[in-house]
Amino acid sequence: METFDIFRHACLMTLISGLIYPVIGAYFLLRRWVFLGVALPHLAMAGMALNLFILTIFDHVLPPGVQKLMAFGSPFLVSLLALVILALLERREAISEARIGAAYALALSLSLLFVAKNPWSQAQIMERLRGDLIMVSSTEVLTAVVVFGSVIACLLLFRREFVLVSFDPDLARILGKRVRFWNAFLLVLVGLSISVGAVVIGPLVVFSLMLFPPLATRNLVSGLNRFLVFSSLIGFLGAGLGFGISIHPLFDTPLGPTVSVSVAGISGLVMAAFKVMKTWRKARA
């Protein structure tokens, strides 16, 4: 119980992330935006590094309230700006993987350059890159809950529009839907949630939770609702298992990588179990 009291914020953040990010990742997988899911967390990290760079110069000028706002605002604005630039560079609605790769490389390079001269900022960035989320504050958890709740509410409220423009944009145009608007809106929602996650738990955990659970359930269930629910369940179980292993005295491993490996392991077991069940049913038939 004492151990949980010490790590309760990290535990809550891990479990919440395990529920939410697989849902977002499911949309990424359906839209074939997987590579963008790699780049966005690192773009958010570049925003965090830029914020730390600004604070080293104007630390005594900016009031505490502005500094707290910048902590989450900078990653989101950098991610949003990058998405806008990528979209404007494209003549088609799809964002090319080559430009996404360039954005990823540039974001990671800028993250390291912004903090190169400040050991404290460098430690902050490396901590997030490793996914060391043990020292999560109550403010960060509350911010994440508000943002995640708003994003999920929008995804559910406008689910039909998002699904329609994702699977059949031509039909969406015939029905009078603004395809570019809904694509942009989806990217803004995703960018907001990923920015918060990258700042609080790091890009490694965010991308792992976005990728492995949806990948495991994609061909195992029918229907979008089941796809989202099963992906979220796998993410939750993997995140909980990873957290338990990480804080156990027998293991005492870094939380971020442990959660990522646990989510991958649970996803692999689910895929293997479904494959065995499918083979067994065929053998009985």
Backbone dihedral region for residue 176 (phi beyond 0: left; psi -120 to 50: alpha; all else: beta): left
Q: What pLDDT is stored for residue 94 in this prediction? A: 52
Domain for residue 43, yes or no?
yes
Q: Are 112 and 236 in contact (CB under 8 A)?
A: no
| Averaged pLDDT, groups of 10, the chain, 285 residues long | 64 92 89 79 83 77 70 78 69 63 82 77 73 75 89 90 83 84 84 84 89 90 87 95 89 88 94 86 77
247-250 contact pairs (CB < 8 A, 24+): 247/3, 247/7
How would you class 279 by CB atoms within 10 Å of its CB: exposed for 0-12, middle for 13-18, buried for 19 or more? exposed
Q: Are 43 and 192 in contact (CB under 8 A)?
A: no
Q: What pLDDT is stored for residue 2 in this prediction? A: 44
Cα-Cα-Cα-Cα dihedral sign, residues 80, 85, 86, 88 = positive
Closest-CA residue to 121 (of 63, 69, 48): 48
Give the 3-state secondary structure of residue 122. Answer: helix
Give the pLDDT confidence of 218-239 residue by residue, as tens digits: 888 888 888 999 999 999 999 9
Domain for residue 285, yes or no?
no
Residue 89, domain extent = 2-280
CATH number at residue 269: 1.10.3470.10
**Number of domains observed in the structure of the chain:** 1
Domain for residue 139, yes or no?
yes
